[in-house]
Chains A and B, each alone.
Chain A
Amino acid sequence: MADASRSDAFVEFERVQKSYDGETLVVKDLNLTLPKGEFLTMLGPSGSGKTTCLMMLAGFETATHGDIRLGGVSINNIPPHKRGIGMVFQNYALFPHMTIAENLSFPLEVRNIGKSEREAKVRRALEMVEMGGFEGRRPAQLSGGQQQRVALARALVFEPELVLMDEPLGALDKQLREKMQFEITRLAHDLGITTVYVTHDQTEALTMSDRVAVFNDGRIQQLAPPDELYEEPQNNFVAQFIGENNTLAGTVTEITGDRALVQLDSGEVIDAKPVNVSQAGERTRVSIRPERVEFKPERLPAGAHMLTAEVQEFIYMGDTFRTRLSVAGNDDFIMKCRNAPGQQRLVPGSTVQIGWMPDDCRALDA
């Protein structure tokens, strides 16, 4: 398995560390392999080291320690212009003193490609992002979305095998962002380009990527496909960072196979799936997604542990009902129900019994 992933590795980070001031590590022992053609997103809060990783890959920062390989070749000492990596910047970085055509033609000119071939490639790239006919305009004359497309075309026009994108959709409004998310993934897959995408927007990460690397504190907390990341978070940070999450603190009292008994701090005992707890007596936080919480006993298996909850607030959200509950000392316990026909609307102040499938309740680190 390890050998297989190694042989088709296109981008590799091996034990990479990065420090700016010699005192603190911004990136701590990063190991990452990327097969050809994959769309990988680096997701994390600001300061988590994701942009630093991207800049090291692009060649604008040097790794303090470790090895970065591209196609099996170490690129630590290769200057950025020889790496042949396309890059889309957060502010697009379209050259303001050049027309759109000149912007796109720039990477071809520095590669000494002939004029007619250059023109053909520029035209094809612009058509690819549906920006044909804008050749003579200047970047300042385009809207944000149009600039975004041009920036994308410019990063692709010299046919790089690897494209890096640094929060490219950050400046766009929601609708345009969703449209561009779709277009970027479509282009990346159609052209078979390997893409490393940096964002702090988890929706973007989940909808676009083949795999997502969640960064925090200079480390990859979890590297997994979006569904796995959401449904099976490996630690408390990932559970909290991706999507909405309810946590209850407690102590493990017993572990048998893939079942753990957790005694909550308020005294109740619940079933959970042990994820990164290994023995009785350990402190833990159990994580339950709001949409997996049930208050109708008939939808739960017999013998499931139920908790008493007091309804604090009922919020009507259109497609869903969002109920804030007070459960085992946690006043911010959220339950989401689909607005299905006949769905019951809970009244604040009333008490209900809630429960969940044991598999949906994950005992994570404290």
Chain B
Amino acid sequence: MTDATFSPDEDVAKAPAKGLTTADGRPLKQALARAQSHARWRAFFLVAPLLAFILLTFVVPIGQMLHRSVYNDGFTLHEDIGSGTQTPLMTNLKTWFKDNPAGTDPDEAAFAALAADLLVLREVKAAGQAGTRINYELSGSRSMFTKAARRAKKLEPPYKEAILDLDEDWGDPMLWRVMRDATSAYTANFYLAAMDRTKDVDGNVVSVNENRQVYVKLFTRTLMLSLLITFLCFLLAYPIAHLLATLPLAKSNLLMILVLLPFWTSLLVRTTSWMVLLQSQGVVNDALVSMGLLGDENRLQMMYNQLGTIIAMTHILLPFMVLPLYSVMRPINPSYVRAARSLGATSWTAFRRIYFPQTVPGIGAGALLVFILAVGYYITPALVGGADGQLISNLIAFHMQKSLNWSLAAALAALLLGGILLLYWLYDRLVGIDNLKLG
């Protein structure tokens, strides 16, 4: 109760060194922290659901993906689906690899270790899994594993001869190099593969065979197509956005709906509509033929190639360019251009020096948005792209769904992510992210 009788003057006089205190004597800083912590907790609880959602659906999967791109335990660990028991694989071989430096020719001891490990593979039925892991880097090796595991019980010393009898390729130094790498679950080999690189027998990084180089080419194509689509979107969107921004409100609202209507339509519907329009028996070709501009036998091939991908994606991504542009153009007062004109600038100079620079933040935002979306686009190129209209994401999907080489898919995706982050950083350095105007 004595606290209540404190006068502020006494208080300050008593403890000048401790800093300010509240009327009832508690340090001001403490009181402030306490008063604010309430608000802070409340704010935290408000955002907690979103935070949990993002964590669960975004951060964790991306983390897993990044982890999977450098981690593959196909050759080191088997987990029984039914019982969940985990069995380490290739333990003997691992020991031999540890004792012998890379490049050592596999001796009898090595083959003995291999035979012992094959026996384990047979017992836990993991030969396919282990073979698949090796097959990623050396095709044709999966069947060797399954075949050898089937006969693992009949193998007798000398193991080297016995195993080479099964298949001569077991003596391939390349196979031993791959197995040596695979006995460690952590590997950068998938990144090498994603960049069309591999290791040779001695472990040096080399380019893969020319006819197997696909990924770098595809990355380049994805990048070039995305740039082209971004540029086309810019060319088409700039006049539309300008019109939207300068028309009277009633008319511009109507036009805006025309821009947004496709935006609200399902992506799949829009893509299939383009298929209807572009196919060789489609609306565009039919119209050209019936107008006599095109012979019936020379119908244009506008789909299942890059052209189809470019046309459809440009149309689908157009609103992402129009909207940021519109949002920067709308507030630009027409008196700027008028002022420039009255100061002696031609309409072109007024546009170039006065209007255009003020729309650059919108161009930046739109271009970044369209480009990032285009780089990762999947459905449209899958449907209308054909063979040479495929983008990197289609290949990632292929490795996820068909070849089941998830580590390679993860490595490709991680490279894509890294590339986009790099571009974003570059954009921030050149234009500045605060200059971005999304609407």
Q: Which residues of A contact B (CB under 8 A)?
A: 58-60, 79-87, 89-91, 93, 95-97, 106-107, 110-111, 154-155, 158, 164
Check A93–B353 contact: CB distance below 8 A.
no
| CB of B185 to closest CB in A, whole Å | 55
Q: Which residues of B contact A (CB under 8 A)?
A: 333, 335-336, 338-347, 349-350, 353-354, 357-358
Check A91–B335 contact: CB distance below 8 A.
yes
Which residues does chain B contribute within 8 Å of A97, judged by CB atoms? 357-358
Given A97-B357, A97-B358, A106-B353, A60-B338 contact (CB < 8 Å) = yes
Check A158–B357 contact: CB distance below 8 A.
no
Interface centre among B343, B345, B353 (most CB of A within 10 A): B343
Given A106-B353, A110-B349, A93-B344 contact (CB < 8 Å) = no
Given A91-B333, A96-B358, A110-B344 contact (CB < 8 Å) = yes
A213 vs B346: C-alpha distance when bound (angstroms): 32
A107 vs B344: C-alpha distance when bound (angstroms): 6
A64 vs B165: C-alpha distance when bound (angstroms): 102
Check A110–B343 contact: CB distance below 8 A.
yes
Which residues does chain B contribute within 8 Å of A93, judged by CB atoms? 333, 335-336, 338-339
Which residues does chain B contribute within 8 Å of A89, judged by CB atoms? 335, 338-339
Q: Which secondary structure characterizes the binding site on chain A?
A: loop
Name the contact of B339 in the complex, choosing from A79, A87, A158 (C-beta under 8 A): A87
Which residues does chain A contribute within 8 Å of B343, judged by CB atoms? 81, 86-87, 106-107, 110, 154-155, 158
Q: Which secondary structure characterizes the binding site on chain B?
A: helix
Which residues does chain A contribute within 8 Å of B335, judged by CB atoms? 89-91, 93
A164 vs B343: C-alpha distance when bound (angstroms): 12
A91 vs B333: C-alpha distance when bound (angstroms): 9
Check A86–B342 contact: CB distance below 8 A.
yes
Check A87–B358 contact: CB distance below 8 A.
no
| CB of A19 to closest CB in B, whole Å | 18
Using CB atoms, name the residue of chain B closest to A102.
B353
3 nearest A-B residue pairs (beta carbon): A107-B343, A93-B339, A87-B342
Check A95–B336 contact: CB distance below 8 A.
yes
A19 vs B340: C-alpha distance when bound (angstroms): 25
A89 vs B354: C-alpha distance when bound (angstroms): 16
A89 vs B340: C-alpha distance when bound (angstroms): 11
Check B342–A110 contact: CB distance below 8 A.
no
Check A158–B344 contact: CB distance below 8 A.
yes
Which residues does chain A contribute within 8 Å of B339, judged by CB atoms? 87, 89, 93, 95
Check A110–B357 contact: CB distance below 8 A.
no
A176 vs B358: C-alpha distance when bound (angstroms): 30
9 contacting pairs across A/B (C-beta < 8 A): A59-B342, A60-B338, A81-B341, A81-B346, A81-B350, A83-B342, A87-B342, A96-B358, A110-B346
Check B341–A60 contact: CB distance below 8 A.
yes
